[in-house]
Amino acid sequence: MASIQDGRALRQQNIYDLNRIKLINTAVDVINEIGDIKEVTLTQIAKEAGVSPATAYNHFPERMEDVYSAIVHDKMDVAANMGATLADDSLSVIEKLKQIPVTYAENLISLGYTGKVLIIQMFNLVNTDKWLNQDPVQAITALLSTSDQYKDRADEIAVTIATSFRGAMFEYALNIGDQEIFNRYTDDFFLKTSENLVENILKQY
């Protein structure tokens, strides 16, 4: 009897997980297609994903806020994405460090319009404890602490790198509408800024 119940529970969990992935991926598609977050609803996402609204609300009870959070955790987990890079002994500390903002930028750019939406939603998601539970300053400080050249100012440099990247990130998000003054903040501009960010900051130290 127990094995039957365990099998049912496993099937239910698999269905739950598959529906969640389907909803997250569909949410990105719908947000990108509509191009205006004020027009996107969880009911629309559920319809496009082929699941019932009740199922969608079960996954995301706070509606779009929970959808944004789920996208962040599923698509923006840079720590998980960088595991192999950080463990690669053939790379120098600085090479690993340079890859952190680049990986963040690449992830955001790959999401299209949705990436900019996540940046705009970041303040609210952090405030409600629904952003990633990762502090880039800690990760950067840990890397710099292994460098003889930078270890004495590791925390200071880490804060500068993190702050500078957030500035570049928010500039990128400004290019979300039709205002010409923000047109310069393209995908290429954001990626290039991220690629050069660490090197430009380390020159000051």
- Say what the alpha-carbon torsion angle 94, 170, 78, 103 is, to the nearest 10 degrees: -50
Q: Which domain holds residue 30?
A: 2-73
40 CB burial (10 A radius; 0-12, 13-18, 19+): buried
Average model confidence (pLDDT) for the chain? 91
Task: Look at the pTM and tell me if it is higher than 0.85.
Answer: yes
Cα–Cα nearest to 134, from 191, 80, 92, 172: 80
CATH of the domain at 194: 1.10.357
Instruction: Encode pLDDT of 79-124 as tens digits.
Output: 777 777 777 888 899 999 999 999 999 999 999 999 999 999 999 9
Strand ranges for the chain from DSSP E = none
CATH of the domain at 64: 1.10.10.60
Instruction: Encode pLDDT of 42-73 as tens digits.
Output: 999 999 999 999 999 999 999 999 999 999 99
Q: Which pLDDT belongs to residue 151?
A: 93
Residues 174, 185: one domain? yes
Residues 92, 143: one domain? yes
Residues 134, 171: one domain? yes
Q: CB of 98 within 8 A of CB of 195?
A: yes
Query: Coil, helix or strand for 10?
Result: helix
Our count of domains for the chain comes to 2
Residues 65, 87: one domain? no
Residues 66, 113: one domain? no
Q: Tell me the mean pLDDT in the region 127-151.
A: 91
Residues 28, 68: one domain? yes
Q: Which pLDDT belongs to residue 153?
A: 96
Residues 41, 138: one domain? no
